[in-house]
Every structure is written in C-alpha cells, then in structure tokens.
Amino acid sequence: MESLRVQRLQPGVGGTLRSLRPGVTAGASLAVASAPRRRRRPRRRSGCPGSSPPGAAATGPPAVLREAVEAVVRSFAKHTQGYGRVNVVEALQEFWQMKQSRGADLKNGALVVYEMVPSNSPPYVCYVTLPGGSCFGSFQFCPTKAEARRSAAKIALMNSVFNEHPSRRITDEFIEKSVSEALASFNGNREEADNPSTGIGAFRFMLESNKGKSMLEFQELMTVFQLLHWNGSLKAMRERQCSRQEVLAHYSHRALDDDIRNQMAMDWVNREQNIPGALSRELASTERELDEARLAGKELRFHKEKKDILMLAAGQLGNMHSSNC
C-alpha cells in the first residue's frame, strides 16, 4: 500500500500531463491547482511568499536598482568594519560561513556557487546559487567575466542581508494576513481557509508548516511546487486521486535533484514530442523570462531550473530521434 501511494505521487507515473502557464506564483499554484474557477477581484501588491524583496524585484529604471544594491553593499561594509571598496565575492561567502557558524541549517554547506554563461564577447552573464538553492544573476552590463561575477554577488549579498530582517520571517501575523488576502482575491470564505482539502486551506497549511522560516527559505521550497505545476505533474497527481496533503507531505522534504529534473524532462518529452517546434518555442520563451527576471534583480531559481529541464528534454529528444534512425 505504501509503495502504491509513493508511486501515485511520482511525476510521470500514469495520467496524461498537460502544460500549464509558466511563471505562476508558487503559493497560487497550490491554492488554485484544482479549485473551481471564480471571478477574481483586482489584486493588491503585497509581501506574499514567493515575491521578491523590495529593491531586489525593482522593475523601474536599472539605475534605481544599481543604487539600491550599492547602498546595501556600502552599509554591509560599514557595519562589518570594512574599509574602502568591499570585495563583494568574499563578503558573500563570509556572510554564509558566518550563518553556518551560528547554527544555520545548511545541508550542503556554506559554499556559494558561481556559473558563467558561455560567451566569447560581452556582455558577460553570471549566476550565483546560495546555500539552500536561491539563485541570482548579474543585473548590469558587464564588460568582463570578473565584473559579471561581482554583479551577481552584489544582488545576492543584498538579498541575503535583507532576508535576515524580522519582517522576512513567516509568523502567525504574516500567515493571517496572507490567508485573508488570498480569501479576498479568490472571493472565498473563512471555512475554506480552515479546511486543508481546499486550495486556500492547503496554502495555509504550507505556510504554517514553514513557520519561522525566511522568505528565501520558503521560496527555495516552493520552487519544487512551481515546477510541478508548470510541468503538469500536479494535475496528473490529482487525476490519480492524490490529496493535496499527500502531495505537500511528499514534496515538502524533497530537494530538487537530478532524478526529479530528469523525470520532469522525460514528462515534457512524452507530452510534447509530437508538436512541431514546441521545445524551441518553450525554450526561447523561458530564456526571455530568465533574462527579464535577471535584469530586474529577481530570484531566478524557478526560471533557471525550468531552462535546465528543457535543455535535458532537448538531449532526451535528440537521443530518441537518433535511436529511431
């Protein structure tokens, strides 16, 4: 019985997957995955989980974002007794080593990982992945690879520092406010929020299960559910009669790994391989979304993971065509 339950929860096991709109907010993907369609009220901007912190998600002129980042870097240098121009790459690494020394639960250690996008000419692009999985990228025009690395480190340091503020923690007050806004947006009633079998109830359950965590920690967790929603796997699990509680319990402790990525890629290939040009169109759209989010200073894990999964799908599709020749 237990093995059957786990099998029903695996992406790609049974059911026909259908592509869903990419880029859906993580909390919303859980709340509305199988909820009946309702007339929505205009949404107000708020600090919901999954949203980027103020400054980091700025959509105004690039100069505003640069000024905000530089201000945080200068402040960081001042409060850490730094003199002159701070080395942001070293500062970012030291910040996470400090967190680990103070007891932060970093399962894979405090190492900050940089990834350069292959290019023979500027502008150069660099991504940085923080311990736990949050990802940021260079947000400026970078004439050198070293400058791209520093640019990525700046935005990552800004988010890391800001994430330590008490306002970025999931508290009872924050949960009540978020649930109330979700009820207003979906024209729901209070009984739904108290019923874990409803979409909003599942959203509340997810928040309460992560009480005390920061927004970046919550976003890292929700990336898994964003990808499952984008890939159509959540819909397939509902068709296999998996409850929201089963899905949440199974994937809340499941880190993104090569097995999940490969399975999602195979699911995509199985669903879309007979649609001419589907992969190239989806990949081009994903690359545009990734670039737009990077230049706006947003957290990039979802967009980058989606691109990596599509690249895996391209490799799998190529292997299938080769074997059929």
Single residue among 164, 196, 231 that ends a domain in this structure = 164
Identify the CA nearest to 236 among candidates 23, 10, 4: 10
Single residue among 119, 148, 164 that ends a domain in this structure = 164
Sheet holding 113-116, edge to edge: 113-116, 126-129, 135-137
Domain that holds residue 319: 257-324
Instruction: Establish if 250 belongs to a structural domain.
Output: no
pLDDT of residue 251: 83
pLDDT of residue 44: 40
Single residue among 138, 164, 190 that ends a domain in this structure = 164
| Cα(8)–Cα(243) distance, integer angstroms | 10
Q: E strand or H helix at 116, and its extent? A: strand 113-116
Instruction: Establish if 37 belongs to a structural domain.
Output: no
| Local confidence pLDDT in tens for the 325 residues of the chain | 555 555 566 665 333 323 223 333 344 434 434 343 444 444 443 333 333 433 343 344 567 777 777 777 776 666 555 555 678 999 899 889 988 988 888 877 899 999 999 999 999 999 999 998 899 999 999 999 999 999 999 999 989 988 888 888 999 999 999 888 988 888 878 888 888 777 788 888 888 888 998 888 888 888 988 998 888 888 888 888 887 778 888 887 777 889 989 989 988 888 776 677 889 999 999 999 999 999 999 999 999 999 999 999 999 887 776 666 5
Instruction: Establish if 90 belongs to a structural domain.
Output: yes
Instruction: Establish if 230 belongs to a structural domain.
Output: no
Per DSSP, 135 falls in state E
Extract the tokens encoding 67. Answer: 């000024």
Four-CA torsion 128, 134, 167, 165, nearest 10 degrees: -40
Instruction: Establish if 274 belongs to a structural domain.
Output: yes
Instruction: Establish if 314 belongs to a structural domain.
Output: yes
Instruction: Establish if 18 belongs to a structural domain.
Output: no
For residue 80, the domain's CATH number is 3.30.160.20
If you search the block for the tokens 């960081």, which residue do you land on? 76
- This prediction has a pTM of 0.74
| Cα(68)–Cα(225) distance, integer angstroms | 31
What is the number of structural domains in the chain?
A: 2
Identify the CA nearest to 252 among candidates 218, 302, 278: 218
Instruction: Establish if 312 belongs to a structural domain.
Output: yes
